[in-house]
A and B are shown apart, each in its own frame.
Chain A
Amino acid sequence: MILLAVVIFGAALIALSQGASSVGFKDSFAALFQNSGLAHAIIWKLRLPRIVMAMLVGCGLALAGAVFQAILRNPLASPYTLGIGSSAGFGAVMAIVFGSGLYNEYLIAGNAFFFALLSSFLILGIAKLKRSSPETMILAGIAIMFLFSSLSSLFQYMGTMEQVHEIVFWFFGSLSKVGWKEISIAAVMILLPCPVLLKWSWDFNLLSAGDESAKTLGVNVTRVRMLGIILASLITAGAICFTGVIGFIGLVSPHITRMIIGGDHRFLLPASALVGAVLVLTADTLGRTLWAPQVIPIGIVTSFIGVPFFFYLLMKRTREYW
């Protein structure tokens, strides 16, 4: 855990010092605390918001993924595979297109959250109605994902040039457009549910032993599941609404963490949040520097880094995790 914190701090420093305009490592560090000059502007206006947002988004998606996996007792669950990502995305796109041209942060965030909740309740409803297996839930989630993707495409089709540009940007996942205002909104949405989720980490462990056992050990299963989904949806919406769909992180960070430290949610939740943050941050730094001054959208880079790493861990693992 401490190691992870060190890693993330290091990654943040490196990310800070790299970029299209070459402000060196030392200069960038100095510029953090100076109050003038070009370097200062680049660091505070461009790089730092990006880095903070990258970490927030990574944390959020990974945390939401871990919570979904625990609550639905399903290794395939994640904001993306459950369709919650794409419906939050649809909400945001809707806000962009119908927001009558004005770019309103609160509207986008609110709408994203609303649609995230909508689809998560849809999945919960299906689960409840048919007492369905985790597989059905994932299938329902994928169906929802396609539904909202096509709805978003429809808006894209109808939108003006400018809107389309915005939407496309959004679908690749991009950290380019964030400022401190967006960060503060996202931070509230992502960080607020954290203490509750951490308090419940014990209950998440019990849920993995089965609903019945959890009930007889005094866990209010229905409440934990409902509120857990609401909170995880809030986090997902917070992570996605300003940066677009970054798919892979939510699914993979909890698994990576589980392979490294095991399945105890008391450690799994915070650790996968950190892993997620490191992943997104690294991906973004690479995306900015590999092809500078071109910036490769974050959504693309995360998959490029995350997938091979995940395969590596899958091959290397010594015991069964699911």
Chain B
Amino acid sequence: MLKVQGLFFRYKNINALKDVGIGLNKGEVLSIVGPNGAGKTTLLKCILGIVKPVKGSILIDGKDASRMKRLNLAKCIGYVPQASPSKFPISVFDAVLMGRRPYIVWKPSKKDLEVVADLLKSMDLEDVALRDFDQLSGGQKQKVLLARAFAQDTDYLLLDEPTSNLDLKHQMEVMEMISGMVKRKGMAAMLAMHDLNLASRFSDRMVMLNAGKVFCTGEPLQVMTVKNIRSVYGVESEISLSNGHPYILPIRPVDQ
């Protein structure tokens, strides 16, 4: 279990995170939702150790993440960034192979290569395996980054808006790959999400952040209410049920 306790973070003079506490259990998909600037990305970066929180602790299976070495942390948590600036041309295969970095000493072993080949096969990326990463479409790039994180073979997976900028089909594919992998391997995924409908459809639990604080948390049906959306997003909405998942139809912004 990944546990975030009493997390505070400041950017210069803005309190980006205030006393955030979240638990992530194995086998579950957890979505972090909230308006722009609510602290979703910051929260992920704190957990990953990319930025250092002012206060608070992150426990991974009971171990303090801030005391772990980068390499060991990389064996526990995988990360799919929002955008990957790749300036050097690199083949898709090599991009995914990067995910094996924590296990490679001098050169990739046979197992590393097998893991990557299997992933590419199961994710329908075989055809583009030797193409340059830069030449792929946005959807394919996202899949490659996802494959890289899967290749890292971690118990926990953090994703920063994995579906933004993707077309409908790729959105579905990416979300299904994530939830499929979580269920199959018993890992846990934490997603920062903008699309409330996608989030509520694919997650087991949701956390709603507002101005750096946890506003509410629970199952999608408990979190996605007309009242919550009005007070956090400032938007009037209608919520209907489709297949047991809440479906949010935004109507108009409200003046607060």
Contact = CB atoms under 8 A, between A and B. Distances in A.
Interface of A: 70, 73, 75, 199, 202-203, 205-206, 208-210, 212-213, 215-220, 258, 262-266, 319-322
A213 B75 CA distance: 14
Contacts of B152: 217
Nearest to B152: A217
Contacts of A216: 48, 50, 74, 77-79, 81
Contacts of B104: 202
Nearest to A198: B106
B98 A205 contact: yes
Interface string B22-49: 0000000000000000000000010011
A208 B48 contact: no
Query: Considering residues B50, B71, B87, B99, which has the most beta carbons from chain A within 10 angstroms of its beta carbon?
Result: B87
A147 B81 CA distance: 40
A213 B83 CA distance: 10
Contacts of A213: 79, 81, 84, 98
Contacts of B180: none
A75 B75 CA distance: 32
Nearest to B88: A263
B94 interface: yes
Contacts of B106: 199
26 contacts: A199-B106, A205-B88, A205-B94, A208-B88, A209-B85, A209-B86, A209-B98, A210-B84, A212-B81, A213-B81, A213-B84, A213-B98, A215-B50, A216-B50, A216-B77, A217-B74, A217-B152, A218-B73, A218-B74, A262-B89, A262-B90, A263-B88, A263-B89, A264-B90, A264-B94, A320-B89
A206 B81 contact: no
A216 B65 CA distance: 13
B101 interface: yes
Contacts of A320: 89, 134
Given A202-B101, A218-B71, A220-B70, A212 B88 contact: no
B101 A218 contact: yes
A321 B88 CA distance: 6
A247 to B, nearest CB: 23
A266 B108 CA distance: 12
Contacts of A75: 87
Query: Considering residues A202, A206, A213, A220, which has the most beta carbons from chain B within 10 angstroms of its beta carbon?
Result: A213
Interface string B89-113: 1110011001101101011000000
Contacts of B70: 215, 218-220
B132 interface: yes
Contact of A212 (B50, B73, B102): B50
B99 A217 contact: yes
Given A216-B79, A322-B87, 20 more contacts: A70-B88, A206-B98, A208-B87, A208-B90, A209-B84, A209-B95, A210-B85, A215-B70, A216-B48, A216-B74, A218-B71, A218-B72, A218-B73, A219-B70, A262-B90, A264-B90, A265-B88, A320-B134, A321-B88, A322-B88
Interface residues of B, number: 35
Contacts of B99: 217
A320 B89 CA distance: 8
B91 to A, nearest CB: 8
Contacts of B48: 212, 215-216
B101 A217 contact: yes
Contacts of B107: 266
Contacts of A264: 90, 94
Contact of A205 (B50, B78, B85, B90): B90
A1 to B, nearest CB: 15
Contacts of A263: 88-90
A316 to B, nearest CB: 16
Contacts of A265: 88
Contacts of B45: 212
A218 B149 CA distance: 12
A319 B98 contact: no
A218 B154 CA distance: 12
Pairs of residues from A and B, 10 with the lowest C-beta to C-beta distance, nearest first:
A218-B74, A263-B88, A216-B79, A208-B88, A218-B71, A218-B102, A217-B101, A263-B89, A218-B70, A210-B85
Contacts of A319: 89, 132, 135
Nearest to A208: B88
Contacts of B72: 218
Contacts of A209: 84-86, 95, 98
A219 B104 CA distance: 12
A155 B109 CA distance: 55
A151 B235 CA distance: 64
A6 to B, nearest CB: 24
B9 to A, nearest CB: 16
A209 B144 CA distance: 13
A258 B77 CA distance: 32
Nearest to B72: A218
Interface string B55-76: 0000000000000001111110
Contacts of A203: 101
Contacts of A205: 88, 90, 94, 98
B174 to A, nearest CB: 18
Query: Considering residues A202, A216, A265, A320, which has the most beta carbons from chain B within 10 angstroms of its beta carbon?
Result: A216
